[in-house]
Homo-oligomer: A and B are copies of this chain.
Amino acid sequence: MINYPGKAKSNYTKTVNYSNRGMDLEELINLSNEYYLQEDIAVIYKKPTPITIVDASFDSHGRVITKAYFKEPSTLDYNGLYKGRYIDFDAKVTKSKTSFPLSNLHEHQYQHMKNIINHGGITFLIISINNKYYYLDGLDIINFINTNDRKSIPIEYIESKGIEIKAKIKPRLDYIKAIDEKYF
């Protein structure tokens, strides 16, 4: 299976780098979600990557897509259910050690986070920065954007408003603990 995304040729280096670094975090979260499901703690899945199919045919394995493009997701990558609450979040990896560039959060993803909050859901980002993982709640992200002209969230803000998530064995990345701390 091949990593994604990758939109325009000109972004090639940048996107491939993000994608590779992103995979580690994505894998940690996927393993955590499997654990939460097995232990009947939460029901949270990664959404499949959205694509636009241009051509398809059949081979010995069945229906095969022979041409398709990646689409930019209009929501966040993970959603599900925990203690009766709707959960919706994304994993973001940044190379910068001092701030999280808001260009990593697309405009429609930001709008989606606002929608989730307005309808009573829980939304957040898991940010990998400077070899640490943080839970940063959607409300804190929206507050930052509403009160700042800055194009990136400084690490001091993430450290003070966010909750550090330690990598461990089971689950690999216990982000539910941060949800508990914030909401339950």
Contact = CB atoms under 8 A, between A and B. Distances in A.
Copies of this chain assembled into the complex: 2
Interface string A68-91: 111100110001111111101000
Interface string A84-112: 11101000000000000000000000001
Given A79-B79, A112-B43, A119-B43, A1 B66 contact: no
A55 B2 contact: yes
Nearest to A123: B81
A45 interface: yes
A120 B71 CA distance: 32
Given A7-B62, A48-B47, A53 B84 contact: no
A142 interface: no
